[in-house]
Structure 1
């Protein structure tokens, strides 16, 4: 790459779509690899605070029973020929007006932060099919931060940031962390990879091209309330472990034989070797 061109970063960006930006560049050691030398990754999620509303009125049981066939889900129990159509309530205008009025209290916010904090510093299993048969799906979570509430288009939002060694297969990467590499490159006279130098520009970019799309989708489609409705509609079978008592029903626990686990593990290992990048 030719880097002695004046204003090379600006000139590159002039030829890119505005949704893709170059912030800067550093010379790396010859063996640098962005994927393998990444210590951890930081993911950020945005969620409206009304999903944490403990008020019973927010429950799906009080939602208007107005339905559409698009929200119908066909469920077939394992080992059964019986089929059950579950009708999922669609968020109503009146319901969403009340949802968007909700503002999280300091007590609930502290509870949310305390809950997510429990994931820090422990090994836990990624939520994927192979999780219960492979120890490689366990990761170390070093950070889970819940930001301060923010009002956007009459709705209050929270930012959830989680930092871990790795995450689910094919999950979107947002920002790699190269702490170990930076220590090595500084010793060898190279400039470290430092995103903080471009923090203001990066935040403005995220607000314009990422956050705004999430806000718009929620405003138009009531995404999160419909998601909550879907969960509530499936509590009898799939999500029975989501209850205020914190008790996992016996019927919600999947039990497999040792032979079945072994066969699935062999299948996963074979698939991984064939698709290894």
Structure 2
């Protein structure tokens, strides 16, 4: 296009069009012969364009050979001429969360400058066990001492997680099969994440990781899984153990609040005083009673009766009374309890202990024990014990699965242990796939099986879990404190217990209706670590009535809290 003096205007030539002249074009002009700005375009407007070469005010025409602009070639787009796959391979460093390679600096050795070689990651399942004492739960938390934080740091130091991914565990898709709260132990749990399993100089990954871990956390093994594997969603069920001193099966002390609420109102139906309490002086102190309780042994009839109550919880039921924040009509309350096994009592030191193994689907908030992950178990065991010691008929348990809402207290958290999660459905799927290939095939997958490590797990439980629980209960009798706090309650919340076997109207809880003298559980029973002398100082600290806990949680939060 030929440009003549005085012909340019803002409607004919925009400032951006001036920028189409290149510096090479301008080199052919003398410094005194520059293209003037078109009429109507100020110096400020010109400066806003792409053309930054100074323009002389002389109205000199362009040289004849440059009078017509040559069409400018557009720069080639990034990755032009390459397939998408090839371009992504070359630019892999630009993905989120990775470090770009720094330019080589002079005077620096090549080993220091070279970027660490990328090693392939594989989706794996880590089978672990831990003593939760001193840890703030299982799940990774910022600036907190948790099991996953400690495990993840060890994996980074070993090289199973690259430095590129060390700043954010989400990058390796970390997930756990069961959550545990502060202080809760697990003989077995599973963490899924993408790991580097072929690390130069590390022939035994499990042994190397265990060297980096403290002795209270152990890795039993790892297995390669499908790429889509996620620990929590792939888990079919979980096994928990709850163990408690057998003296909790003794009936309430005569004249206590619980005793008055559970004995028949008709004197002719009054049951005989239990031999244990018949031999107890009327002026005995709690310390005197505890010494005698620890020497008491449950008879075959006591254990058989407790097993009958445990059997009532097996099968599919509506467990809304054994959690909080969920209504009877909520379908998520319907769960399947596969089995409940009560072992024969065993004496350790002065005290006899009873162990209960619960195998069920994911447990709801408070169903076994701790808030927020596994408290369904705590409430179930509590109702079994209280019903057994108060001569409650077995049929009452069936009523507790009905629509009426009652209060079920929680057992102390100290006795809870996650045995291990189970992955039967996943194991069946990979077994079907494995039939079509040999064990040497790279796509062959091993089943997830904690029982293969039974000997090591049992040794760990005895050394790091059972011994510590018993050592904690000896100087600080938390179980005895708990049962005495239940027995002294004289309100109406637990009047469904007793020989009558009915749920009276005063024991039914109605949402929004305030109850007179509700049972308030002490927060210290949610703890698992105690210091002798501090328990009495905390005796006055009470929680809100347990039916009020979790009421503000939505379904997503409650689902995440399942254990």
Q: CA deviation at 1:256?
A: 4.6
**Aligned pair in 2 of structure 1 residues 234, 163: CA closer, same or farther (>3 Å)?**
same
**Contact preservation (8 Å) 1:91, 1:226:** no
Q: TM-score, normalised by structure 1?
A: 0.77
Q: 1:67 matched to which residue of 2? A: none
Aligned partners of 1:151, 1:43: CA distance in 2, in Å? 21
Aligned partners of 1:274, 1:35: CA distance in 2, in Å? 15
Q: 2:288 matched to which residue of 1? A: 94
What SS is found at the alignment partner of 1:148? Answer: coil
Count of residues paired in the alignment = 239
Q: 1:148 matched to which residue of 2? A: 344
**Aligned pair in 2 of structure 1 residues 32, 269: CA closer, same or farther (>3 Å)?**
farther
Q: CA deviation at 1:236?
A: 2.3
Deviates more, 1:27-36 or 1:118-127: 118-127
Q: CA deviation at 1:218?
A: 1.8
Q: 2:315 matched to which residue of 1? A: 121
Q: CA deviation at 1:269?
A: 9.7
Aligned partners of 1:269, 1:62: CA distance in 2, in Å? 35
Q: 1:243 matched to which residue of 2? A: 498
Deviates more, 1:28-37 or 1:208-217: 208-217
Q: CA deviation at 1:273?
A: 4.3
Q: 1:180 matched to which residue of 2? A: 425
**Aligned pair in 2 of structure 1 residues 49, 202: CA closer, same or farther (>3 Å)?**
same
**Contact preservation (8 Å) 2:294, 2:351:** yes
**Pair 1:162-2:358 in alignment:** yes
Q: CA deviation at 1:275?
A: 7.9
Deviates more, 1:229-238 or 1:40-49: 229-238
**Pair 1:216-2:471 in alignment:** yes
Q: CA deviation at 1:242?
A: 2.5
What SS is found at the alignment partner of 2:218? Answer: coil
Residue 373 of structure 2: which of 161, 165, 171 is its match? 171
Q: 2:554 matched to which residue of 1? A: 271
Structure 1 runs, 4 residues or longer, greater than 6 Å off: 267-270
**Contact preservation (8 Å) 2:337, 2:360:** yes
Q: CA deviation at 1:60?
A: 6.3
Q: 1:31 matched to which residue of 2? A: 228
**Contact preservation (8 Å) 1:148, 1:158:** yes
Residues 150-192 of structure 1: per-residue CA shift (max 9 Å, x gap): 1112100011111111112332454111011100112222211
User: Which runs of 5 or more structure 2 residues have no equivalent in the other structure?
Assistant: 1-195, 258-283, 366-371, 375-417, 435-444, 513-549
Q: 2:270 matched to which residue of 1? A: none
Residues 29-48 of structure 1: per-residue CA shift (max 9 Å, x gap): 11111100111111110111
**Contact preservation (8 Å) 2:256, 2:488:** no
**Pair 1:131-2:333 in alignment:** no
Tell which has more relative contact order, 1 or 2 (C-alpha 8 A, sep 6+): 1
Larger proportion of helix: 1
CA RMSD of aligned residues (A): 2.7
User: Which runs of 5 or more structure 1 residues have no equivalent in the other structure?
Assistant: 64-89, 258-266
Q: CA deviation at 1:19?
A: 1.1
**Pair 1:14-2:259 in alignment:** no
**Contact preservation (8 Å) 1:60, 1:233:** no
Q: 2:71 matched to which residue of 1? A: none
Q: 2:297 matched to which residue of 1? A: 103
Q: TM-score, normalised by structure 2?
A: 0.40
**Aligned pair in 2 of structure 1 residues 196, 234: CA closer, same or farther (>3 Å)?**
same
What SS is found at the alignment partner of 2:219? Answer: coil
**Contact preservation (8 Å) 1:44, 1:162:** yes
